[in-house]
Structure 1
Amino acid sequence: MPTTRLATSNDLPAWAIVAACILAVASLVLLIVEMRRRERGGMGILVTGVLALLALALAVLRPVRIAARESVIGARVVVLGDTSRSMALPSDGGGTRQKTRDDVIAQLTKAAPDARVMQLGFSDGAPKPFSVGDGTSARGQRSDLGSAIRALGTMPDERPAAVVVVSDGRLDDPQEDAPRALLKELGNAIHAPIHTIATTKEGPADASIRRVANAGAAVAHVPLPLKVDIGCSGGLSCDKLTVTARELREDGPPALLATGLADVKDGKASVDLTVTLDRAGVRILEVGIESPTGDTIPENNRRLLTLNVARERVRVLHVAGQPTNDVRALRQWLKSDASVDVVAFFILRTPADDPRAAQEDLALIPFPVDELFSVHLPSFDAVVLQDFDAQPYGLERHLPALARYVRAGGGLIMVGGPNSFVAGGYAGTPLGGVLPVSLDGTSGATAADTAPFVPAWTEPGRSAPVLAPLRAVVGDELPSMPGANVLGDVRTGGVVLWTHPTRTTKTGAPMPVLAIGDQGDGRSIALGIDGGWLFEFSELGARTAGRGHGALWDGLLGWLMRDPRFEPAQVDLREGCIADVPPILRIRTAGHATKGETVVLDVTRLDKSGVAPIHVEKVREGDDAPIEMALPPLPTGGYSARLRIGTGPTTRRDFACEAGGDEWADTRPDPERLRALAEATGGSFAFASDVRDIRLPKPTVVSAERHVVPVAPPWTWTLLAATLLGAHWFMRRRGGLS
C-alpha cells in the first residue's frame, strides 16, 4: 500500500542524529536557566531562542519526504501444540487440557494478526499439522518435544522467528531433570527463542501406576521380577494399596500370579513382585491397584503389559509306544538339538508281558503316567505322542487335562503308527477334540491302511513356511511311506499339508496325512505316518545326506512353538492401541502369499466379554507390500488377532488396549519444566490465562517502490537558522543578556 512519511537525511549516521537532539535539548535547558538573569523582553528571547534551536536542528537533520509502496510481512511463528494422550486429561476449572490448548492457540492467532502462524502438533517424532478443535488431536502415545524441535531445525523451509509451545509440561523429552545446557541446545537447534504456555496449573486427585519395570527378558518357567511404582497426587488420601499381577488368558478368567502391599508415603510407593509365566509367546500381563476413595481417574489404576516371553530351551515330553525306527530317528534328532530339552519315555514292557521274574528283580520302571500328566505337564512346551496306546498305560483318565493343556497354550504332536490315532483309543476323547483332524471311532471303522504310498503335496503345503525347510532340501519329492493311519476330515481352522493319493474321507475329500491347526491358545499337529525316518534312510535320504528328516521336524516343532520363521505372516500394531481409538494392524507376509488372495482377520477379546468378535477381510493387492487393516475402536482390555491368508495356516497376535498408557501414568502437570525451557532459550513463559504476556516478534516492513524528496534545499535551512540566530542575539542584547 502507498505511504508517505517524514525522515532525516539518509547520509546522517544514527549517532549524529542522537547528538543533534541532545545538543538541542541541552541548549534549551541553558536558555531557560539564563532567562532568570534577563532585565526585560523575556517572551521575545524565549521565542526566538526556541525557533533558532529548531532551525539549527533542521539544518543538521535536513528532513526529507519519503513516498513508498510498502508491504508488511508478519514474522514466521511456529506454534507447537501438544497432541499426546495426556491432553485428554482434566484441566483447571473443568474441561480438558486439549480444549485449553485449542483456546490458547486461538487467542495467540487473534493477538498477532500480522504473524505468519504455522500450527503443528507434536507427540512422537517430527511435528505434524493439526487443526484446532479436532477431536483426534490428543492421541499420541509420547510427548517428545525434543525431537519435534530438532526436526524443525532441519526443515528446508524458512526458519521461524519464534516457537511457541503449548503443553501441560508432562514431557518425555526433555526430561524433568534436564540441565540448562541441554535446554539451551534446543533453542540453538532452531536459532530462535522458545516461548512456552502451560495449559494446567494443578493436577487432579489421582492414584495411579506410574511405571512397571521388569528386570531382564521374560523367559518361560523362569521367575520375572517386576518393580511397580505408584503415585498419589492432587490431595488424594492414600495409605496402603493392594497391588496385583494377573495374566489375561483366553481359556478362562485372568490367572493371579502375584500380589503385594504398597505403603504410600509422600505420594509415592514402590512394590516388588515376582511372576512366572508358563507359556512362551506374546502374553498380556495386567498390573493393577485398588481405587481409593476420591480417585477421579480410575482408568490409570490398571496397566496392561504386552510381554514377548522367550524360551530358554524348548522343553519337550516325548512318549513312544515302542522303539521303532521312526521313534529312534525322532529321539536322536530331539537329543541333537541343543535348543531342545527332551524328556523321553519308551514302552519296552507292556502290562501283558510276563517277565518270569519278581518285580524287585526288574530293571525297567513302570511308566509314570500319573506323575507326568498331573504334576509335571505344565512345565513342558510340547508333548509328542508317537505310536502310543492310551488305554493300557492309564493315559485315558488324563486326556481331559492334556486337552486343557493344549487349549491353554501347550503344543501337541501326534505321530502315527500301529497304536496311534484311532488304534490308540483317541477317537471320541477330549484329546481327539484338539487334533486338527477328526477321528472315526465307530465300530468297524478302519484304523490304518498298510499299503505303501507317496504323500501328495497340497497347495497350502507348498506355500506354508512350516514346510519351507523341507522343500529347500527335497523339493517336491517325498519318499514312499509303508502305510498310514486313517484320519478324518480336517477341522475348522485346520490346514492340510499332505494328503493320501488314493484314500478319501467320508465327505469325499482327500484323506489328510499331515495337518496342523490352532486349538484355543495352543497348537496341534497330526502326522499320520510312522515313516518319517525314511527322509534319512532311503534313496531320497541318500541323495540329500539325510537332511530331510531334521528339516521336517525343525519346521513342525518351530511352528508349534510359534517361531516367526515358520509363521505365514507377521502382525503388529502400527501405532499401538489406545482404548476407543481405531487401531491399525500392519501385516507383512514376506512373499508367502500371492496377489489376489483374501486376507481374513478375526479379533476376539481374551475374556470373551463386552466386545463382539470382529471380522475383517481384504484382498491382497501385491506380493510383498505390507497390508494394513483398520479395526473399530476397542475398549480397554486384552485381545487376540488371528490372521489367515487364503487357505493357509493361522497367525496369531495378542495385544492390549489401554485408556491412556504411559501418557496417563502421571497426571500431574509440570509448568516448571516449561518455564525452565523458556528461560534457557531466551523466550517467555505464561499460563493459559496470561497468553498476552508472550512477546512475539514484530512484523517486517518491505518497500517495493521508494521516492525520497527533500522538504527544502539545505541552504534554506541554513539561511533560516542564521536569520533566527541573529534575531535571537538581538533580543538577548535588548534583554540585558550577553
Structure 2
Amino acid sequence: MIEQIAFSPLIPWPVFIGLACASIAVIAFAAWRKMTGSVLRFVAFLGLLLALANPVVLRQERDALTDIVILVVDETASQTLSDRRLQTEQAEAKIEAQVAQLSNTELHRVTLQDASDDRGSLLLTRVADAMADIPQGRLAGVILLSDGQIHDAGLVPDLPAPLHLLLTGSPSDWDRKLRVENAPAFAILDEEITLTLAIEDQGAVPQGLPQVSPLIVSIDGGEDIVLQMPVGRSVQVPLTLPHGGMNVLQFSVPMVEGELTDRNNSAVIQINGVRDRLRVLLVSGEPHNGERTWRNLLKSDPSVDLVHFTILRPPEKQDGVPTSELSLIPFPTRELFLDKIDDFDLIIFDRYKLRGILQPSYLENIARYVEDGGAVLFSAGPDFASADSLYRSSLSRIIPVQPTGRVIEQGYVPQISNLGSRHPVTQGLGGVASSVDAPPNWGRWFRQIELSALSGQVIMTGVDDKPLLVLDRVGEGRVAVLGSDHAWLWSRGVEGGGPQLELLRRLAHWMMKEPELEEETLSATVQGSTITVLRRSLTDDPQNLTVTAPDGTTRTETFAKASPGRFEATITGEDMGLYRLQAGDHEAVVVLGPAAPREFENTIATDTLLAGAVRPTRGMVKRLSDETPDIRLVSQGRLAGGRGWIGITPRNAYTTLSSSTAPVIPMWGWLAILMGWISFVWIREGRR
C-alpha cells in the first residue's frame, strides 16, 4: 500500500491561481502601507486557498514489475569462425547466471540469424524488434554478444537504457580476402576485357607473410589459369571470353595458414558474351518474291551486317548493251570467296545455281570455310533440282541432302517432324496444333524440291513427309537446306500465313551458333535459393544430374520431362556460392548469391560500426577474449560500466491494482478552522 498527498481543487486551476495572485497583491499592498493585521490576514487567505485546493490522501495498491535485460546473441555465419562460438556460449551462461541473482530482474534472450537474401547481419534491426515486444518503461539494459560486423549501422534505435557490446574474436585475428573492384556485365567475343581485382589482408597480419599470391582463374568450371598477383594493391587482369551467352568466371586465391576463413578468398562474376556484329553474305541467284523476305529479316536485326548480291547479268547473257552504258558493278567473287570469306559468320545461297561465276576453287574454299567453323544456308528453288544445282559441285560433300531432280508443284502445309518437335529451331513454333495428328494452322506452300536426306536432322517435312528443312554439322561448321522457295507466302498472309520470320530468324541464329538454340545443352537459372536446371536434348534420356555444392559435397538429382526434348530439375541451394552441374558429357555452372556471402566480406571483429549506438547510452564495449564482465546496478544517467563490469539501470516499474482518495481535512473542518481564525483576528483587533 502506497500513500501520498495529492490535490483535488474545488475550483478550476486557472481560477485558483487567479485568486492566489489577487490575495498576494492585497496582502502586499497592506504590508506596504504598514496596515495592522497584515500577517494575520495573510494566514487567513492562505488557509482559504488551502481549503480550496482540497488536499487529499491518495492510497494505491501496486504490483512491482520486473526489470528486463535484453540479451542479443549473434548466431550468424561469421560467429562460427575461430573460437567465437565458444566465447559466446561461455559469456551467455555467465550473464544468465548473474541476471538470475539480481532481484526483480529478468533476462529476455533473442538470437540473430543470417538474412535469407544475403543482407548480412542486421543486428540493430533485431534489437529494435526485441524492444517492440516489451514495455519501454521496464527496459533496464541491452547486451550484445557479437563480432561487431553488422550491416545496418545507420538504424540505431532510441534506447532508454544502456547498450553494451561484448565483442567476440581475438586481437590477433587476421584474414585475407579477394575483392572485385570492376567487372563489365557484357563483353564482345574475341575482344580482350579487363577486370580489376585486389587481394587484401585485414587484422593482425603476421610479419614476413609473402606479398605475392597465386590467382586461380577458371571459366565455366574449365581448366584453371594460374596468375601471380601482388597483395595489397589493385591489379588489372585481361581475359577473353570463350563463347557467347553467359560466361561464369571464378577467381580464387589459396588459403594461407592462420587466416580466419577461405570463404572470402574467391569471387564469381557472370559476363554475357555478345558478338560485335554478325556478318552475313546473302547471294541471290535471280530476283524473286522470296528475296525481299531474307533481306527484310536480316536488315531488321541491328546486330547483323548484311552484304547482299543479286546476280542480274550472268557472263553468258548477250543482250547487246554497250559496256560503257552498264551501271551494274561486277560480282567481286575473288574478294568474297577467297580473300574475305572467313570474315562472314553466315553465307546464304538463295536460289543460286552454277552460272560460271563461282569457279571450282571458290566452291572448294566455301566447303573448307564450313569445315573450319563457318555456316552456309541453301534456300532451294527449282534450280537446285537442275543440272546446274550447287549439289553438282564440290559443295556436295557438305550438303546433307541429294536432289532427285523432281520439283513438286502442289499445295501442302509444312509439318514439324518428330525430331523437329524437340529441336530448338522448330520446337514450340507458333501455330503448332495441340494434337499430334492435326496439321498446324498454317497457310500452304505450293512448291517443294524433292530431296533425299543423306545425313543431318530432318526437322520439317512437306509433301508425303519428304524432307523440307534439313540441318547438319560438318566439321566445325553448320549447313542447312530449305527445300522450298515459298516461305515468303507466310509473310504475305496467304491462307492465314505462318511463323515465317520466327522460323527464319531461329534458323539463321542456330547456324551462327547462338547458345540458346543449341540442341544438346545444360543450363540453369536462379531465383532466390532455388536453382532450376534445364536439360535440352534430342533424345529421351537426359541422364541423371550430378550437383557439386560450394563446399565440395555432391548429390544426384533426377530430371522431369517438361515438354518434348526439355527436361527440368529443381534444386534448393543450402549454401551460397558456385554450383557445378553435370549431366553426361554436359557441364554447367551457376552462382547462388555471391561467391562470398556478405557475412564474410569482412571477418575481423570490430566495435567501430556499433560505437555510434553504444556511446550515447553511456554503455561499454568489452572484449570477451579478456573476460566476461560482471553486471551491476547503476542509477539512470550515470556511466554504465567500468573495469571488469557493466551496468544496467533499474526502472522500478509497477502496475496499479487499486486506488482510493480521502480528504486530509473534511470541509466542515476547514470551515471551523477558518471561522475560528477569523474570530480570533476580530477579537484581537477589537481589543486594540
> TM-score, normalised to structure 1's length?
0.55
Q: Compute the displacement of 1:215 (Å).
A: 5.4
**Matches of residues 51-200 of structure 1 in structure 2 within 5 Å?**
72-73=65-66, 75=68, 77=70, 79=72, 81-83=74-76, 85-90=77-82, 95=83, 97-113=84-100, 115=106, 117-124=108-115, 142-145=120-123, 148=126, 161=139, 163-174=142-153, 182=154, 186-188=156-158, 194-200=163-169
Determine if contact 1:603/1:642 at 8 Å carries over to the other structure. Answer: yes
Determine if contact 1:485/1:528 at 8 Å carries over to the other structure. Answer: no
Q: Does 1:285 align with 2:285?
A: no
Question: Counterparts of 1:225 and 1:561 in 2: how far apart (Å)?
Answer: 24
What residue number does 1:220 align with? 188
Q: Compute the displacement of 1:197 (Å).
A: 2.5
Aligned to 2:373, which of 392, 398, 402?
A: 402
| Distance change in 2, residues 1:296/1:695 (3 Å) | same
Q: Compute the displacement of 1:212 (Å).
A: 0.4
What residue number does 1:629 align with? 571
Aligned to 2:171, which of 202, 216, 238?
A: 202
What's the Cα RMSD here?
Answer: 6.2
**Matches of residues 386-401 of structure 1 in structure 2 within 5 Å?**
392-395=363-366, 401=372
Helix, strand or coil for the counterpart of 2:149?
Answer: coil
Question: Counterparts of 1:422 and 1:198 in 2: how far apart (Å)?
Answer: 84
Determine if contact 1:304/1:656 at 8 Å carries over to the other structure. Answer: no
What residue number does 1:677 align with? 613
Question: Counterparts of 1:450 and 1:629 in 2: how far apart (Å)?
Answer: 52
Q: Cα deviations across residues 583-634 of structure 1 (Å, max 9, x unaligned)?
A: x315899xxxxxxx99998456799xx88784333588xxxxx995336879
Q: Cα deviations across residues 653-678 of structure 1 (Å, max 9, x unaligned)?
A: 74378874454344322233334431
AA partner of residue 246 (structure 1)? V
Question: Counterparts of 2:463 and 2:225 in 1: how far apart (Å)?
Answer: 46
Q: Does 1:529 align with 2:522?
A: no
Paired positions, count: 539
Question: Counterparts of 1:447 and 1:89 in 2: how far apart (Å)?
Answer: 74
Helix, strand or coil for the counterpart of 1:667?
Answer: coil
Q: Does 1:585 align with 2:523?
A: no
Q: Cα deviations across residues 220-240 of structure 1 (Å, max 9, x unaligned)?
A: 235443221221243333454
Helix, strand or coil for the counterpart of 1:393?
Answer: helix
| Distance change in 2, residues 1:369/1:272 (3 Å) | same
What residue number does 1:340 align with? 303
Q: Cα deviations across residues 489-542 of structure 1 (Å, max 9, x unaligned)?
A: 988xxxx864556338xxxxxx6847799x9xx9x98754244x6343468535
What residue number does 2:502 align with? 551
Q: Cα deviations across residues 159-204 of structure 1 (Å, max 9, x unaligned)?
A: 7945544322233443xxxxxxx4xx5123x777643232113354
Larger Rg: 2
What residue number does 1:241 align with? 212
Q: Does 1:10 align with 2:1?
A: no
Helix, strand or coil for the counterpart of 2:441?
Answer: coil
* Structure 1, unpaired ranges of 5+: 1-6, 14-62, 127-139, 175-181, 356-360, 404-411, 433-438, 505-510, 577-583, 590-596, 621-625, 644-649, 715-738
| Distance change in 2, residues 1:528/1:116 (3 Å) | farther
| Distance change in 2, residues 1:701/1:88 (3 Å) | same
| Distance change in 2, residues 1:707/1:146 (3 Å) | closer
Determine if contact 1:198/1:686 at 8 Å carries over to the other structure. Answer: yes
| Distance change in 2, residues 1:448/1:106 (3 Å) | farther
AA partner of residue 225 (structure 1)? T
Question: Counterparts of 2:61 and 2:127 in 1: how far apart (Å)?
Answer: 42
| Distance change in 2, residues 1:488/1:363 (3 Å) | closer
| Distance change in 2, residues 1:72/1:308 (3 Å) | same
Q: Does 1:299 align with 2:270?
A: no
What residue number does 1:728 align with? none
AA partner of residue 248 (structure 1)? I
What residue number does 1:572 align with? 525
Determine if contact 2:367/2:394 at 8 Å carries over to the other structure. Answer: no
Determine if contact 1:639/1:656 at 8 Å carries over to the other structure. Answer: no
Helix, strand or coil for the counterpart of 2:373?
Answer: helix
What residue number does 1:454 align with? 413
Could you tell which deviates more after superposition, 274-283 or 190-199? 190-199
AA partner of residue 123 (structure 1)? D
What residue number does 1:639 align with? 580
Q: Compute the displacement of 1:477 (Å).
A: 0.5
| Distance change in 2, residues 1:331/1:490 (3 Å) | closer
| Distance change in 2, residues 1:415/1:194 (3 Å) | farther
Q: Does 1:690 align with 2:628?
A: yes
Q: Compute the displacement of 1:147 (Å).
A: 5.5
Determine if contact 2:246/2:271 at 8 Å carries over to the other structure. Answer: yes
Question: Counterparts of 2:220 and 2:534 in 1: how far apart (Å)?
Answer: 26
Determine if contact 1:125/1:144 at 8 Å carries over to the other structure. Answer: no
| Distance change in 2, residues 1:489/1:367 (3 Å) | closer
Question: Counterparts of 2:134 and 2:440 in 1: how far apart (Å)?
Answer: 57
Determine if contact 1:198/1:674 at 8 Å carries over to the other structure. Answer: no
Question: Counterparts of 1:200 and 1:401 in 2: how far apart (Å)?
Answer: 60
| Distance change in 2, residues 1:705/1:121 (3 Å) | same
Aligned to 1:616, which of 558, 561, 566?
A: 558
What residue number does 1:132 align with? none
Q: Compute the displacement of 1:558 (Å).
A: 6.7
Determine if contact 2:253/2:265 at 8 Å carries over to the other structure. Answer: yes
AA partner of residue 217 (structure 1)? A
Helix, strand or coil for the counterpart of 1:279?
Answer: coil
Helix, strand or coil for the counterpart of 1:394?
Answer: helix
| Distance change in 2, residues 1:498/1:241 (3 Å) | same
> TM-score, normalised to structure 2's length?
0.58
| Distance change in 2, residues 1:116/1:284 (3 Å) | same
Q: Cα deviations across residues 129-150 of structure 1 (Å, max 9, x unaligned)?
A: xxxxxxxxxxx57334466567
Question: Counterparts of 2:472 and 2:618 in 1: how far apart (Å)?
Answer: 66
What residue number does 2:449 align with? 483
| Distance change in 2, residues 1:196/1:548 (3 Å) | same
Query: Higher strand share goes to which structure?
Result: 2
Question: Counterparts of 2:271 and 2:98 in 1: how far apart (Å)?
Answer: 51
Question: Counterparts of 1:612 and 1:8 in 2: how far apart (Å)?
Answer: 70
Question: Counterparts of 1:683 and 1:426 in 2: how far apart (Å)?
Answer: 87
| Distance change in 2, residues 1:81/1:707 (3 Å) | same
| Distance change in 2, residues 1:612/1:167 (3 Å) | closer
Q: Percent identity?
A: 11
Question: Counterparts of 1:202 and 1:277 in 2: how far apart (Å)?
Answer: 43
Determine if contact 2:289/2:488 at 8 Å carries over to the other structure. Answer: no
What residue number does 2:42 align with? none
Question: Counterparts of 1:627 and 1:157 in 2: how far apart (Å)?
Answer: 46
| Distance change in 2, residues 1:224/1:662 (3 Å) | farther
Question: Counterparts of 2:199 and 2:491 in 1: how far apart (Å)?
Answer: 66
Q: Cα deviations across residues 397-419 of structure 1 (Å, max 9, x unaligned)?
A: 5656429xxxxxxxx68556457
Question: Counterparts of 2:218 and 2:173 in 1: how far apart (Å)?
Answer: 30
What residue number does 2:46 align with? none
| Distance change in 2, residues 1:384/1:269 (3 Å) | same
| Distance change in 2, residues 1:121/1:490 (3 Å) | farther
Determine if contact 1:194/1:677 at 8 Å carries over to the other structure. Answer: yes
Helix, strand or coil for the counterpart of 2:186?
Answer: coil
Question: Counterparts of 2:390 and 2:94 in 1: how far apart (Å)?
Answer: 78
Q: Compute the displacement of 1:248 (Å).
A: 1.3
Q: Compute the displacement of 1:125 (Å).
A: 7.1
What residue number does 1:315 align with? 278
